[in-house]
Amino acid sequence: MITSAALLLRERGVAGTSVAKVLEHCSGPRGSVQFHFPGGKNQLVVEALGWAGGLVAGLLADASARGASPGEVLARICEFYKRQLIETGFQAGCPVGAAAQESFADPVLGPAVAKVMDDWATGLAAVLVADGRAEEEALDLALLSISAIEGAITVSRLRRSTRPLDVVLDRLLLLL
């Protein structure tokens, strides 16, 4: 259910991801939602965001541990989203970015999205610090990078082109 919710979030956002659609997507029984997610849709969405965010945070932690360059990390992230956009006919964006657009003021979902974004910024900043950047500069560059990539994903979906991600990557590489 968590994976199905995350997959639906990346295509339909929070408003378009109902419990019924999640159950249909994963072929789950209706009663299982109340059992596993007594907090209902909000709990399911929070856990889906945590799962999706954890995938990227894990990638960042692995990259930092193996000494990957910031450019290599950003290129991998951009390539992942480019591939995902192309494979889904530009239907699938980032579930966290989609939730951020809709839920920034929600008292439950807003903090969950903010935590994922903070985890990503911390993870990317660690890669930048390992590459020789000062911590404050690294956090600023990480925030800039995440913001630019999320924006590029949105514009890529609108234009049905991966060019925005290419532009963001090319420009960010100059800064990094």
CATH number, domain of 92, equals 1.10.357.10
Domain of residue 41 covers 2-175
- Show pLDDT as tens, one digit a residue, over the chain (176 residues): 998 999 999 999 899 988 888 888 888 777 777 778 888 889 999 999 999 999 988 988 888 889 999 999 999 999 999 999 999 999 999 999 999 989 888 999 999 999 999 999 999 999 999 999 999 999 999 999 999 999 999 999 999 999 999 999 999 999 98
For residue 59, what are the CA distances in angstroms to 22, 34, 67, 121, 154?
26, 32, 12, 12, 22
Structure tokens at 25: 């997507």
Q: How many domains does the chain have?
A: 1
> According to the model, what pLDDT value does residue 46 have?
92
> According to the model, what pLDDT value does residue 24 have?
86
Structure tokens at 103: 């839920």
Residue 15: burial class (beta carbons within 10 Å; 0-12, 13-18, 19+): exposed
**How far apart (Å, rounded) are the C-alpha atoms in residues 29 and 83?**
32
CB-CB contact of 123 with 38 (8 Å): no
Q: Using a cut of 0.85, tell me whether the model's pTM lies above it.
A: yes
**How far apart (Å, rounded) are the C-alpha atoms in residues 163 and 156?**
7
Name the amino acid, one letter, at 154: T
Helices in the chain by DSSP H: which ranges? 2-12, 19-26, 31-36, 40-65, 70-87, 95-103, 109-130, 135-159, 163-175
> According to the model, what pLDDT value does residue 40 have?
85
